Structure 1
Amino acid sequence: MSGLLVGEVVRSAAGAAPHRPAVVLGGRALTFAALDAGADQAAGRLAALGVRRGDRVVWPSAGDPVGTLRVYAGAARAGAVLVPLARDAWSARVVRAAAPCLVLTDAEGATEGARLATAARVRHAVLAEDAVRTDGDRPGEPREPEAAEAAEAPEEKDPHLVLFAGKGRTRGVVLSHRASVLRAHCG
C-alpha cells in the first residue's frame, strides 16, 4: 500500500483476508473480496459515466448500507468525491449545495434520485448489480460501460467524502482519503 487511500485499504484487505467479513449487518455479510469486486465495478461504472478525479457524486442511499459501502470504496478508487445522503437529507437544496456532476442511486432510490437530479440540474444514473443506466436508457436493457481512459489516481490529501448533517444544513464537511482511513482505523 503506497498511502492512506480508501480504495487501496480495501484492496489490501481483500488480498490479505479475502473470505473474511468486511461487514456484517443482520443476516447479511460482505467479504473483503466481494467488497473489492464491488468497488471495482462501481469505479468502472463511474469512469464510464465520465466521472473523474475530484468530481462530486451524490449517493442518496435508500437504506442499503452494503450497497453504500461498495459505492464508498468504488468512488474512492475512481478518485471521485462521494456525497452520501441519508433519507432525511434528500433535498434539492442539499444536492445543489454539494455541486455534483452526477446523482447516483440504486434501483430502489431511482425515482427520488431522478427528481433530485432534475431539480439540481445534474445527470442521474442507476447503479444496478449488472449495469448502470441513465435516465435516457430503457429499464431492463443493461448498458455496457464505454471504454474509459485511465483515471488519474487519487492522492491522500484529495477530498474523498462530503458529509451533510440533514435537510436544514447546506454546509458540508469535507474529508480527505487520509482522514477517512484514519477515522476508520481500529488502532
Structure 2
Amino acid sequence: MSVDHPIHPATVHWPLAFLTTAYGLDALHVVRPYMPSTLTSYLPTVVETTRIGYWALGLGVLTALPSAASGIAQAAKMVQAQGLYDQNGKMKAKAKVLVAHALINDIVIIVSGWIWYKRRSASSMEYLKEGLNPMACEPQTWMVGASLVLGAMLLFGANLGGTLVYDYGMGLSMGKKVIKKNE
C-alpha cells in the first residue's frame, strides 16, 4: 500500500465504536434506576458500566487523534487539488460537507476529551479523599446531557463522512483518474 492511499476511512471505526459505547453507557447510567429489575439483572453492575464508559471515552478520544490527523491530511490534498470554491466564487457542495464534517467531529473530540479530563480529575480527587471509591469515574448529570448531544453530533458527523465517501467519492481515489474497465 502506497502513501497515496487514503487511510482516514479506515481509522474512523475505533473512535466511532468507543465514543458510541461511552455515550450509551452514560445514558444507561441515568435510565438504569427507572428500569425494571428483571432487565437490570442481566446488565453489568453500575460500577462496571461506569468504569467501562470512562475508559471507552478515553479510548475514543485517543483513537480519534490519528483519525482526525489523517482526515486533515486527506482534506488538504482534496482542497489543494480541487479548491473550495467554484468559478463563481461560491463554496462547492462537497467543500461545505467537508467543512461541516470536520467541524462537527472536531467539536465532538474536543468536548469528549474535556469531559474525560473532568471525570479523571474528579476520580483522582475521590481516590485521594475516600480511598478506592468504586464510583469515582461516575459521570455527573451535565456530562450525561453532553454525552447525549455529542452522540447525536457524532452520528451526524459520521453521516456527513459517509456522504463524502459515497456521494462524492472522497477517499476512494485521492483525486486520481479512476480507470473504468469497460471504456
Higher helix share: 2
Greater RCO (Cα-Cα under 8 Å, separation 6 or more):
2
TM-score clears 0.5? no
TM-score using structure 2 length: 0.25
Q: Which one has the largest radius of gyration? A: 2
TM-score using structure 1 length: 0.25
